[in-house]
Structure 1
């Protein structure tokens, strides 16, 4: 069954990244990170500042790779996994999601910790991160747990953090 869907941006995300961005948000990243809502949505920010973290949902408008249902993450020692078992941004619907900390909100602008998106990325939605609903104590790392390298080393690769090992 095919359902026609229409999404429209509710704002834009501003970051210092013009061509490439980290694989995941870097909490204490340098630069200014802002989620700017269109003025017509400003009232929707009421009480959002009472939360520490938010989900930022966006459209990956600059992706140019074609979709592959099998991914081979560069950091995963040649392991092949299905697209939906990966964090690849290249997906049938190029929608991204990041969890970031709210630093402050001023009018229609949310200042956040580091975001892993290219500057001027279209914003689709914002949702509060609620500790008791969104944190799962029994979560695991799936197939990553079976890799030989230490988890710490792999997480550095996933996050795109330069390191020596």
Structure 2
């Protein structure tokens, strides 16, 4: 089916179901201006990742929507889709980036990265579900900053979401290994 680009790019209504309550007030530390990964920058990234990994946040679902959470506490992990509301409007027009702002990484289209700077700053995080009390779900490991609008919450199902044969490019694997080596 062929569609007109203008028609396909028409506005759509996206309504949050709640918001994030978190001690995290800022995104990942900004990369160095020269774009090379200094040891200080990597140390800051390690500290940030460690903080986020252990951070408990709350998904505060609007009270009138509390019923959408029925049974969610039976899962150990959930996928949280949220709006990166602190991404400035001008960053939403960025089409290509160096991953994590690092010039030693190849420039890639934002859809090939995890950058929050994207046309629609919709982010996805798999997190541990700690507890639920009425319309509040406590999770661990959510990178969303305080006040981020929650768009959706889905249960993580290991047999459905895990893909054993998934392939990632060498530069992404290098980033993962660097973070793992510094965060054993």
- TM-score normalized by structure 1? 0.81
Residues 19 and 147, structure 2, Cα contact 8 Å, conserved in 1: yes
Q: Is the 8 A contact 2:95 2:109 kept in 1?
A: yes
Contact persistence 1:72–1:78 (CA under 8 A): yes
- Distance change in 2, residues 1:125/1:24 (3 Å): farther
Q: Which residue of 2 aligns with 1:152?
A: 177
Matches within 5 A, 1:114-125: 114-125=141-152
Choose from 51, 54, 61 the match for 2:85. 61
Aligned length: 154
Higher gyration radius (CA): 2
Q: Distance in 2 between matches of 1:104 and 1:51?
A: 10
Q: Is the 8 A contact 1:26 1:116 kept in 2?
A: yes
Offset at residue 134 of structure 1 (A): 0.2
RMSD of aligned Cα (Å): 2.6
Q: Which residue of 2 aligns with 1:113?
A: 140
Larger RCO, structure (CA 8 Å, separation 6 or more): 1
Secondary structure of the 2:115 match is: coil
Residue 83 and residue 11 in structure 1: after superposition, are their counterparts in 2 closer, same or farther (change >3 A)? same
CA displacement at 1:25 relative to structure 2: 8.6
The structure that is helix-richer by fraction is 2
**TM-score with structure 2 setting the length:** 0.73
Q: How has the CA–CA distance of structure 1 residues 150 and 142 changed in structure 2, closer, same or farther, with 3 Å as cutoff?
A: closer
Q: Judge conservation of contact 1:25–1:116 (CA < 8 Å) in 2.
A: no
Q: In 1, are the aligned partners of 2:19 and 2:148 still within 8 Å (CA)?
A: yes
| SS of structure 2 residue aligned to 1:26 | helix
Query: Is structure 2 residue 18 aligned with structure 1 residue 11?
Result: yes
Unaligned runs of at least 5 residues, structure 1:
158-162
| Distance in 2 of aligned mates of 1:75 and 1:39 | 42
